């Protein structure tokens, strides 16, 4: 009986052991190997806990052999395996005895990220992290390698944290300054980085905290690019390429896109490139470029026709720009009500932008004579203008927009009617009032 009982208990425990293994998460290795790795995992985790408690890097060195074995045999044990691995490997690299050992450890760190990508995905993010680590460890010595990795990360399909786009631009500029590429690379990569950041801002428009963070990254990219951003520099960079290959559609797209972004639309190079692009590839996008060109030439009727075509067909990311330019064209043609409609459509296309409301405010202020039936010489138009400027600030609290709005508010407030004039017209501070004429906005009476 004793023998049978012992055997029964043994079988029960064995079955329980098998059940535990079966219930464990998939570590990316066989059940047998996973069972063998329980002790190394425990020792590795204990060493990491000691490090976090004491901040003594010797515990990371203690963790290394166990961590190394886990990554090699069970690469899906945990995502934390790779987060902790970065710290473990950086300590090992910092204490390497010679260049050969350091280089081998750097390669192990890079390989760790490749293993993580193979098992968990997120290629762009972790390829960019490889670049960042190489930049921090090797500095100028690693420029070729870390620039290539940033470039690879930016061009991969998938999500990439916006902060890495700033690093990408900084790496690009370092690469060009080191004489490893022509200045056109800075312009080309700015085009990629700024477009991705604009997309991120639009996706996070309803999250004020994230939107503010992304605006900060946009400012960082703009600051990095600014030494290369003057219109004369862009013309110098691209003129020779255009003259050598004036019907290269990819080149023409680069030229028109960057010159529109940097508002270099009065340069002959922009005109020539735009006309060639529209002739070779008449699309809503090239119609947008043609509209921009006609605006620069003050050919407002032509601009309106091109831009009406553009707003019907351009991608969502370009609708804001197309409607904004259409508003400018209608404004130039003195079709103010149509201009307001276009600006409102622009504001709807990108709810993070305050510019459209600012332009409507300027329309109102410039149209005060059309509101003369208010009995205060059209000054009610300035109430509506200030309303739009306050709306602009609430939508886009960036420093640049707020400063522009405040300057206009100060100027327009000076045109409010005097209290005595308002009283004679039967108007009282704080009362609702509808501005007459095409403006037709409901606003609040204010005096100075």
Q: pLDDT tens for residues 169-214?
A: 999 999 999 999 988 888 888 888 888 888 888 888 888 888 888 8
Q: Is the pLDDT of residue 38 over 60?
A: yes
φ, ψ (nearest 5 deg) of residue 247: -120, 20
Which contiguous run of DSSP H or E holds residue 433? Answer: strand 432-434
Residue 441 pLDDT: 95
Report yes or no on whether pTM surpasses 0.75. Answer: no
H/E element, 442? strand 442-444
Start-to-end Cα distance in the chain: 106
What's residue 8's pLDDT?
37
**287 sits in which H/E element:** helix 284-296
Region of 179 please: left (phi>0), alpha (psi -120 to 50) or beta: left
Q: Which residue has the higher pLDDT, 95 or 226?
A: 95
**Mean pLDDT on 339-364:** 96
pLDDT(11) > 80 = no
Q: What percent of the chain has pLDDT over 90?
A: 67
Report residue 407's pLDDT band, with 50, 70 and 90 as the boundaries.
very high
Q: For residue 202, what pLDDT is reported?
A: 83
Tell me the average pLDDT across 63-75: 94
The band of 15, judged by pLDDT with boundaries at 50, 70 and 90, is very low
Quick: pLDDT tens for 235-270: 988 898 899 999 999 889 888 888 888 888 888 999
Q: What is the mean pLDDT of the chain?
A: 89
State how far Cα 229 lies from the chain centre: 19
Of the pLDDT bands very low, low, confident and very high (cuts 50, 70, 90), residue 426 is: very high
Strand partners, 444: 432
Residue 21 has pLDDT above 80, yes or no: no
Q: pLDDT tier at 134 (50, 70, 90 boundaries)?
A: very high
Rounded CA-CA distance 85/95 in Å is 15
Burial class (CB in 10 A: 0-12, 13-18, 19+), 315: exposed
According to the model, what pLDDT value does residue 25 have? 65
Average pLDDT over residues 63-85: 93
If 0-12 CB within 10 Å is exposed, 13-18 middle and 19+ buried, where does residue 360 land? Answer: buried
Which pLDDT score is estimated for 416? 96
| Among the ranges given (22-36, 58-72, 158-172, 297-311), the one the predictor scored with the smallest mean pLDDT | 22-36
Give residue 361's pLDDT band: very low, low, confident or very high (50, 70, 90). Answer: very high
20 pLDDT higher than 60: no
Q: In this model, does residue 19 exceed pLDDT 80?
A: no
DSSP string, 56-106: -THHHHHHHHHHHHHHHH-TTS-THHHHHHHHHHHHHHHT-SSHHHHHHHH
CB within 8 Å of 139: residues ≥ 6 apart: none
Over residues 406-433, the mean pLDDT reads 94
SS3 376: coil
Task: Report whether pLDDT(49) > 80.
Answer: yes
The whole-number average pLDDT for the span 27-35 is 89
pLDDT higher than 90, residue 383? yes
Tokens of 142: 């690693």
User: What is the sign, positive or negative, of the torsion defined by CA atoms of 169, 351, 262, 243?
Assistant: positive
């Amino acid at each position: 009986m004793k023998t049978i009982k012992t055997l029964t208990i043994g079988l029960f425990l064995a079955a329980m052991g098998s059940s535990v293994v079966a219930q464990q998460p998939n570590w990316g290795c066989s059940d047998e190997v996973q069972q063998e790795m329980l002790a190394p995992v425990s020792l590795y985790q204990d060493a990491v806990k000691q490090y976090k408690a004491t901040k003594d890097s010797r515990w990371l060195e203690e963790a290394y052999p166990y961590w190394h074995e886990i990554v090699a045999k069970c690469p899906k044990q945990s995502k934390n395996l790779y987060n902790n691995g970065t710290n473990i490997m950086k300590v090992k690299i910092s204490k390497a005895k010679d260049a050969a050992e350091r280089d081998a450890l750097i390669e192990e760190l890079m390989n760790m990220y490749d293993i993580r990508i193979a098992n968990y995905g997120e290629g762009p993010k972790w390829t960019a992290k490889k670049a960042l680590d190489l930049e921090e460890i090797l500095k100028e010595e690693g420029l070729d390698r870390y620039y290539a990795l940033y470039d690879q990360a930016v061009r991969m399909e998938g999500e990439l944290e916006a902060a890495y786009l700033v690093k990408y631009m900084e790496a690009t500029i370092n690469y060009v300054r080191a004489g490893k590429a022509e200045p056109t690379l800075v312009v080309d990569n700015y085009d990629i980085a700024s477009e991705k950041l604009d997309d991120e801002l639009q996706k996070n428009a309803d999250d004020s905290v994230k939107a503010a963070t992304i605006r900060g990254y946009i400012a960082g990219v703009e600051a990095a690019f600014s030494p290369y951003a003057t219109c004369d520099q862009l013309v110098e960079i691209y003129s020779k390429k255009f003259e050598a290959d004036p019907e290269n559609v990819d080149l023409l797209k680069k030229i028109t896109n960057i010159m529109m972004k940097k508002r270099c639309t009065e340069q002959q190079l922009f005109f020539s490139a735009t006309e060639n692009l529209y002739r070779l590839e008449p699309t809503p996008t090239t119609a947008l470029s043609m509209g921009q060109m006609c605006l620069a030439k003050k050919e407002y009727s032509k601009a309106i026709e091109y831009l009406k075509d553009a707003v019907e067909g351009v991608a969502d990311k370009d609708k804001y720009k197309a409607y904004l330019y259409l508003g400018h064209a209608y404004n130039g043609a003195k079709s103010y009500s149509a201009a307001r409609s276009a600006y409102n459509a622009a504001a709807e296309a990108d709810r993070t932008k305050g510019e459209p409301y600012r332009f409507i405010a300027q329309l109102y202020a410039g149209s005060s004579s059309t509101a003369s039936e208010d009995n205060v010489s059209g000054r009610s138009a300035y109430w509506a203008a200030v309303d739009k400027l306050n709306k602009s600030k609430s939508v886009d609290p960036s420093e640049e927009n707020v400063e522009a709005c405040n300057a206009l508010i100060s100027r327009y407030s000076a045109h409010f009617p005097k209290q005595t004039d308002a009283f004679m017209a039967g108007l009282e501070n704080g009362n609702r009032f509808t501005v007459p004429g095409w403006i037709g906005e409901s606003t609040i009476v204010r005096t100075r």
